Copies of this chain bind each other. A is one copy, B any other.
Amino acid sequence: MVVIMKPKTSEKDVQKMISYVKDMGLDVMINKGVDCTVLGLLGDTSRIDPDTLMLNVHVDRVMRIAEPFKKASRKFHPDDTVVKVGNVEIGKEGNFTVIAGPCSVESEAQIIEVAEDVKKSGAKLLRGGAYKPRTSPYSFQGLELEGIALLKEAKEKTGLPIVTEIMSPNLVETFVDNVDIIQVGARNMQNFDLLKELGKTTKPILLKRGLSSTIEEWLMSAEYILAGGNPNVILCERGIRTFETYTRNTLDLSAIPAVKRLSHLPVVVDPSHSAGMSWMVEPLSMAAMAVGADGLIIEVHNCPEKALCDGAQSLNPKQFDSLMKKMKGIGANIEKKI
């Protein structure tokens, strides 16, 4: 951590600041510049709040040097984390894992049919929403527990492990008992109470990036889960809010190589929600693979025209199958196996 003192701060006031910092158990290096003095704080600064140092009226700015995340950082954990779900290994070098399924679970027939279809095309896990975060209180909120029961049926029939979204800390136990990967949605990325509860389990967590979160904030949310004792975090880029209005959100594919460099956690891409238009899923999926993601989570619906929600962004099974074939082609070229 670096503390920049204001220009013309007296020697006495600089010394006071130094004593204050040393009292926190840190060492201090003093850099006397032309305009101002800069203090280098040496030691474990991860628990020091820069705002507290800003209270000293002689402090101009405080800059953090070390990343505030330790457990999520590749610096202290150089090897890739591989999250195992059944015999699927997400994040393993050379693997490209595709999770597919409908936005919402709607009926037994629907979820089983989709599960069978996506399995045939090469998907390794089944997704489906049982609890739905909706901007409007008047929109369909999901089948809830019944939706989870239907997902389990589909798992029994197909063997595909299931992924579904949690919205409340009250449901952590239910989810741990019934699903294979618990998804945390973009709007709950900083629902810290929920993250703490999930940190107490060892269930794999798919942590979506918040709509306007930085990569650092995203990794800090992963850090909440890791710090609680659960090492099984999969990151998921799903589009950020920008000024563009043509697409619903803007898929940030450059976040993938950034996250792979900063962290050892696997990262997958959701090409369906970000654009909000089914015809964009194919090019974005191809790009996600080429940019280095560890997998995809794609919406597939057996009858998009009647979907209760979000149909506009879903592929039908035939489109999904065609996409999978194309991706296998590219994958062969860059050593990624679907």
Residues of A at the B interface (CB closer than 8 Å) are: 2, 4, 7, 29-36, 38, 40, 42-44, 46-47, 49, 51-52, 54-56, 61, 63, 65-66, 68, 75, 133-139, 167-170, 187-188, 190-193, 196, 211-217, 220, 223-224, 227-228, 240-247, 250-258, 261-262, 274-277, 279-280, 283-284, 286-292, 304-305, 307-313, 326, 329-330, 332-334
Question: Would you give 10 A-B contacts (Cβ < 8 Å), ordered by A?
Answer: A34-B42, A34-B43, A49-B309, A54-B277, A212-B243, A213-B243, A214-B245, A242-B242, A287-B290, A290-B330
Given contacts A187-B190, A243-B243, 8 further A-B contacts (CB under 8 A): A54-B312, A135-B190, A136-B223, A137-B223, A246-B258, A251-B254, A329-B333, A332-B333
| Closest chain B residue, CB of each to CB of A249 | B254
Q: Which of A188, A191, A241, A261 has the most CB of B within 10 A?
A: A191
Does A191 contact B192, Cβ atoms closer than 8 Å? no
Does B51 contact A311, Cβ atoms closer than 8 Å? yes
Contacts A223-B136, A250-B254 known; A212 to B191 CB distance under 8 Å?
no
Complex: A274 Cα to B257 Cα, angstroms = 13
CB distance from A152 to the nearest CB of B (A): 22
Does A283 contact B292, Cβ atoms closer than 8 Å? yes
Does A214 contact B40, Cβ atoms closer than 8 Å? no
CB distance from A121 to the nearest CB of B (A): 19
B residues less than 8 Å from A228 (CB atoms): 137
B residues less than 8 Å from A326 (CB atoms): 334
Does A56 contact B305, Cβ atoms closer than 8 Å? yes
Complex: A7 Cα to B76 Cα, angstroms = 10
B residues less than 8 Å from A241 (CB atoms): 212, 243
Does B4 contact A65, Cβ atoms closer than 8 Å? yes
B residues less than 8 Å from A44 (CB atoms): 34
CB distance from A166 to the nearest CB of B (A): 10
Does A286 contact B290, Cβ atoms closer than 8 Å? yes
Q: What 7 A-B pairs have minimum CB-CB distances, sorted nearest first? A: A31-B40, A212-B212, A29-B31, A287-B291, A290-B290, A286-B290, A54-B312
B residues less than 8 Å from A308 (CB atoms): 52
Does B51 contact A276, Cβ atoms closer than 8 Å? yes
Contacts A192-B167, A227-B137, A283-B290 known; A312 to B216 CB distance under 8 Å?
no
| Closest chain B residue, CB of each to CB of A167 | B193
| Closest chain B residue, CB of each to CB of A292 | B283
Does A2 contact B252, Cβ atoms closer than 8 Å? no
| Closest chain B residue, CB of each to CB of A217 | B135
Set B66, B133, B193, B250: member contacting A168, Cβ < 8 A = B193
Q: Which of A7, A51, A188, A311 has the most CB of B within 10 A?
A: A51
Does A257 contact B245, Cβ atoms closer than 8 Å? no
